[in-house]
Amino acid sequence: MSSTGQPPPEPFRVSQLLYDTRYRSYTIQIFALAVIMLAFAWAIDNAVRNLEALGKDIDFGFIFETSAYDINQHLLDYDSTSTHGRAALVGIINTILVAVMGCITATVIGVLAGVLRLSRNWVVARLMTVYIETVRNIPVLIWILFTVAIVNEVLPGVRSFRGEDAMSGLLFDSVFITNRGFYIPAPVFEAGSSVIGIVLLLSVGAAWYFGRWARARQAATGQILPVFWVRLAILAVPVLLAFFAMGSPVSLEVPALKGFNFKGGIYMRDSLIGLWLALSVYTGAFIAEIVRAGILAISKGQTEAAYALGLRPGRTMSLVVLPQALRVIVPPLISQFLNLTKNSSLAIAVGYMDATGTLGGITLNQTGREMECILLLMAFYLVASLTISGAMNAYNRSVRLKER
Amino acid sequence: MRLKTTLVAAAAAAAFSVGAHGATLDDVKAKGFIQCGVSTGLAGFAFTDSDGNWDGFDVVFCRATAAAVFGDPNAIKFTPTTGKTRFTALASGEIDVLYRNTTWTLSRDVDLKFSFLGVNYYDGQGFMIRKDMGVSSASELDGATVCIQTGTTTELNLADFFRANNMSYEPVPIETNAEAQQKYLANACDVYTTDASGLAATRATFENPADHIILPEIISKEPLGPLVRHGDNAWGDIVRWVLNALIIAEEKGITAANVDSMASADTKDPEIKRLLGVEGNYGEMLGLSSDWAVHAIKTGGNYGEIFEKHIGENTAIGLARGLNQLWTKGGILYAPPFR
């Protein structure tokens, strides 16, 4: 400001807002902001006025009213005397369930397919190319309908397990794969099972500590221990000992055919299985491409250097290439997770009762509160997406290149 | 520039499409056709034939309304709606009248702000099940997997029925009748439930209809009829009286074949004269031509003829008149006097 040899600052003139590059950007930004706000104000005003013209007000009171409908898959206590709010919550939990399951399997499928597509084995690499190109070029809704139709039409009906020449279930007649879904045994925890839980927790801690110790030892002496097998032993042996010491307090409840359906055990509905598989396979194809891009982004010199040091291909991939590739992979992976979560709203096509099916479907329809339901639904998906991207961004910060 | 024009046009459409509801009759007359919401496809009630033309019980009532207004049963556009989209389509003005097996309930009338204009089919919710399941009554359905069309009153009736009888069930919500049919036939559900007429219609399209039975219990009252938006009285009156005219026509024995001779000949019955516009100015009161009812009846005949042709006992659907018989013949079909 007061540096010598420069002319004193000129007084501000209004024309500078247009001609001076220092101020012009502010002018443009303020103008743009005003236009956007006006557009929003107009849209909101339009909605309010038109609703008024229809004689409809905005009222969220229906959330506390009785829903009067049933939901097949509910992880919370729910029946037709519960409120619309609880129905929405049940739907939200169903959405989260399928999204979490989908994200995990999609990542596994995607990483495998992405790495295998780069395989030197011609057949494996081409097979993966075929998988990726077929799956990601067909809309996900078609895949969802397709998988559920396959489950419904190809798998045996519940009635095939009944009568004279009845089919028997898999794994000693305990798992039943039918066209209504999978019936699998459920664990039943009796008194004393908490001891096993505590032992398991301690084992996990010990396994984690062993891994750290082995790494430190490797860094100090260069010797590599069979970490995986030792860890497996640390996890399994004490738990098994505790299980028998406590007199087998955990038993399995096997599904049994009673009346129309199997009763007991865990019931995974056809809609859940179809939706989950379709979303995982579809998103997995995109993740595979992201993983492949991430691996190819690491210069070949890195691999060659690792080979020169005597590392085997598997270790080269897991110790040298993948950690560096993660920096490239994670950011686009976030948007794939978001896509999967949002695509799960297609669930209604196969009758899976997710948030769109309950809040944005039956509740909307029975109460006639379209505006309110859709607003709530948008808010939910927004919060869910922001949470996912927040968590993934935190992970991204932990794997990105640390510049010192 | 083109983007800008599109935006302005879209904005204008958004601003005015809802505002202009006051006078649907004027709108309808100005555009020269009626937009009628029907089912996405239910044998006998609303379906497209091999040439892509809409036909069926509900469709004929729509066409009769078009004939009454324009003298032409084809001055009409059909919009297929699902259980979920139908009310939004009507409230938003996408359709002028909804003729789609829609149950008249208090909350739809009052809270959703629609006017129900009468009943063209008295129905009730029933259950369909495979004969070889050995079930003969709905009270034996404990634990069954039940396919339901989502967004309908059947969903609520079902919840009430199973709760009242202290039974459990597994609801499988389905969007359209076609999907429900596929699931039911694949044995992915034991039971399919919807209005008994819909069950009969669905069963008629099966390969072996005789393998399936409709259980005797009817668990609800489902008066199905046409509806329009609240505040659309002039337009609603027309839809209501076309329906009534077709019922009165059956009462008086006016058919598609004899309506012309009835209108011209010396009929003694003054109500026929009033209905067919020979006497009085009832058409003018409704804002229509005096021979509106003649056109409406010519479209597909009187109520009985429409019923027999599309869903009656001699069709594949095979529904008996039952409650939908005229009040003079043991049913509850009853139109107010035409005067």
pLDDT digit string, tens, across residues A25-80? 888 899 999 999 999 999 989 888 887 877 777 888 889 999 888 888 888 889 88
Averaged over B19-30, what is the pLDDT? 72
Q: Look at residues B240, B339, B226 and name the one whose alpha carbon lies nearest to residue B296.
A: B240
Q: Virtual CA dihedral for B31, B36, B37, B43, nearest 10 degrees?
A: -140
Residue of B nearest to A45 (CA): B15
pLDDT digit string, tens, across residues A287-327? 999 999 999 999 889 999 999 999 888 888 888 888 888 88
Distance CA B91, CA B222 (A): 22
Which residue would you say has higher pLDDT here, A222 or B164?
A: B164
Same domain, B85 and B163: no
pLDDT at B1: 42
Q: Look at residues B226, B238, B336, B222 and name the one whose alpha carbon lies nearest to residue B284.
A: B238
Would you place residue A234 in the very low, low, confident or very high pLDDT band (cuts 50, 70, 90)? confident
pLDDT at A236: 86
Could you give the C-alpha distances from A339 to A53, A280, A336, A381, B167, in angstroms and in order?
Answer: 37, 11, 5, 11, 40
Residue of A nearest to B153 (CA): A366
pLDDT at B5: 45
Interface of B with A in 36-55 (CB under 8 A): none
Can you spell out the DSSP letters for A199-268? HHHHHHHHHHHHHHHHHHHHHHH-PPP-HHHHHHHHHHHHHHHHHHHTT--EEEE--EEETTEEESSEEE
Q: Which residues in chain B touch residue A366, judged by CB atoms under 8 angstroms apart?
A: 107, 151, 155-156
In the chain, the amino acid numbered A293 is: A
Judge whether B5 is closer than 8 Å to chain A, CB to CB. no
pTM for the complete prediction?
Answer: 0.76
Whether residue B21 and residue A348 make contact (CB cut-off 8 A), yes or no, is no
ipTM value, please give it.
Answer: 0.73
CATH assignment at residue B151: 3.40.190.10
Residue B147 maps to a domain: yes
Which residue would you say has higher pLDDT here, B105 or B176?
A: B105
Beta bridge partners of A312: none
Task: Tell me if A261 sits within 8 A of B189, measured CB to CB.
Answer: no
Task: Tell me if B177 sits within 8 A of B42, measured CB to CB.
Answer: yes
Judge whether A163 is closer than 8 Å to chain B, CB to CB. no
> Which one of B220, B255, B283 terminates a domain?
B220
Residue B335 maps to a domain: no
Same domain, B252 and B115: yes
Whether residue B113 and residue A258 make contact (CB cut-off 8 A), yes or no, is no
Q: Which residues in chain A touch residue B172, judged by CB atoms under 8 angstroms apart?
A: 72, 271, 351
Residue B149 maps to a domain: yes
Residue B12 maps to a domain: no
Whether residue B172 and residue A46 make contact (CB cut-off 8 A), yes or no, is no
Nearest neighbour of B186 by CB, restricted to A79, A179, A259: A179
Judge whether A66 is closer than 8 Å to chain B, CB to CB. no
Q: Which residues in chain A touch residue B111, judged by CB atoms under 8 angstroms apart?
A: 367-368
Same domain, B229 and B325: yes
Distance CA A351, CA A275 (A): 10
pLDDT digit string, tens, across residues B177-197? 888 888 899 888 899 999 888
DSSP 3-state of A62: helix
Same domain, B209 and B245: no
Question: Residue B200: is its pLDDT beyond 70?
Answer: yes
pLDDT at A4: 58
Residue at token pair 């999967």: A340
Whether residue A71 and residue B187 make contact (CB cut-off 8 A), yes or no, is no
Judge whether A398 is closer than 8 Å to chain B, CB to CB. no
Question: Residue B2: is its pLDDT beyond 70?
Answer: no
Same domain, B40 and B155: no
Bridge-based pairing of strands B222-224 and B212-214 is: unpaired
pLDDT at A242: 84
Q: What is the DSSP letter of B328?
A: G
Averaged over B283-311, what is the pLDDT? 92
| The CATH number of domain A84-155+270-399, selected from 1.10.8.870, 3.40.50.300, 1.20.200.10, 1.10.3720.10 | 1.10.3720.10
Residue of B nearest to A148 (CA): B183
Averaged pLDDT of chain A: 87
Residue B167 maps to a domain: yes
Phi, psi angles (nearest 5°) of residue A204: -60, -45
Nearest neighbour of A258 by CB, restricted to B11, B143, B156: B143
Averaged over B134-139, what is the pLDDT? 88
Same domain, B311 and B256: yes
Beta bridge partners of A376: none
pLDDT at B146: 92
pLDDT digit string, tens, across residues A80-129? 889 999 999 999 999 999 999 999 999 999 999 999 998 889 999 999 99
The token pair that represents A265 in the structure block: 């055990």
Distance from CA of B18 to the nearest CA of A (A): 6
> Which one of B173, B200, B220 terminates a domain?
B220
Percent of residues, chain A, with pLDDT higher than 70 = 97
Judge whether B84 is closer than 8 Å to chain A, CB to CB. yes
Averaged pLDDT of chain B: 87
Same domain, B316 and B234: yes
Question: Residue B248: is its pLDDT beyond 50?
Answer: yes
| Rounded (5°) CA angle A45-A47-A51 | 120
Whether residue A261 and residue B15 make contact (CB cut-off 8 A), yes or no, is no
Burial of residue A287 (number of CB atoms within 10 Å: 0-12, 13-18, 19+): buried
> Which one of B220, B254, B269 terminates a domain?
B220
Query: Under 8 Å CB-to-CB from A13, ≥6 apart: which residues?
Result: none
Question: Residue B19: is its pLDDT beyond 70?
Answer: no
SS3 content of chain B, % helix, strand, coil (to 5): 45, 20, 35
Q: Virtual CA dihedral for B27, B32, B37, B39, nearest 10 degrees?
A: 180
Q: What is the DSSP letter of B206?
A: S
Size of interface A-B (CB pairs under 8 A): 112
Same domain, B82 and B206: no
Residue B71 maps to a domain: yes
**Which residues span the domain enclosing B145?**
125-220
Same domain, B200 and B230: no
Averaged over A167-192, what is the pLDDT? 81
Query: Under 8 Å CB-to-CB from A288, ≥6 apart: which residues?
Result: A109, A110, A111, A112, A113, A114, A117, A128, A131, A132
Residue at token pair 């927790």: A201
CA of residue A80 relative to chain centroid, distance: 29
Phi, psi angles (nearest 5°) of residue B173: -75, 135
pLDDT at A131: 94
Would you place residue A404 in the very low, low, confident or very high pLDDT band (cuts 50, 70, 90)? low
Residue B324 maps to a domain: yes
pLDDT at A2: 52
Would you place residue B162 in the very low, low, confident or very high pLDDT band (cuts 50, 70, 90)? very high
Domain boundaries, chain A: 16-51, 84-155+270-399, 193-246
Phi, psi angles (nearest 5°) of residue A180: -100, 0
Question: Residue B128: is its pLDDT beyond 90?
Answer: yes
Question: Residue B266: is its pLDDT beyond 80?
Answer: no
Which residue would you say has higher pLDDT here, B266 or A334?
A: A334
Distance CA A153, CA B182 (A): 9
Same domain, B215 and B279: no
Question: Residue A332: is its pLDDT beyond 70?
Answer: yes
Question: Residue B323: is its pLDDT beyond 60?
Answer: yes
Task: Tell me if B198 sits within 8 A of B39, measured CB to CB.
Answer: no
Same domain, B263 and B200: no
Can you spell out the DSSP letters for B72-123? -TTSEEEEEE-TTTHHHHHHTTS-SEE-SS-B--HHHHHTTTEEE---SEEE
Instruction: Give the HSE-up count for residue B228: Cα atoms under 13 Å, Cβ half-sphere.
Output: 26
Total structural domains within chain B: 2
In a mutagenesis test of the B interface, which of A70, A146, A270 is the best target, namely the one with the most B β-carbons within 10 Å? A70
Q: Look at residues A179, A317, A174 and name the one whose alpha carbon lies nearest to residue A251.
A: A174
Task: Tell me if A110 sits within 8 A of A286, measured CB to CB.
Answer: yes
Interface of B with A in 199-258 (CB under 8 A): 229-231
pLDDT at A366: 83
Beta-carbon count within 10 A of B3 CB:
7
Task: Tell me if A357 sits within 8 A of A92, measured CB to CB.
Answer: no
Phi, psi angles (nearest 5°) of residue B7: -60, -45
Beta-carbon count within 10 A of B203 CB:
23
Residue B337 maps to a domain: no
DSSP 3-state of B216: coil
Residue of A nearest to B230 (CA): A54
Judge whether B186 is closer than 8 Å to chain A, CB to CB. yes
Beta bridge partners of B98: B37, B227
Distance CA A328, CA A296 (A): 10
Nearest neighbour of B187 by CB, restricted to A157, A367, A370: A157
Q: Which residues in chain B touch residue A74, judged by CB atoms under 8 angstroms apart?
A: none
Same domain, B175 and B269: no
Which residue would you say has higher pLDDT here, A280 or B8?
A: A280
Task: Tell me if A196 sits within 8 A of A239, measured CB to CB.
Answer: yes
pLDDT at B334: 92
In a mutagenesis test of the B interface, which of A42, A46, A69 is the best target, namely the one with the most B β-carbons within 10 Å? A69
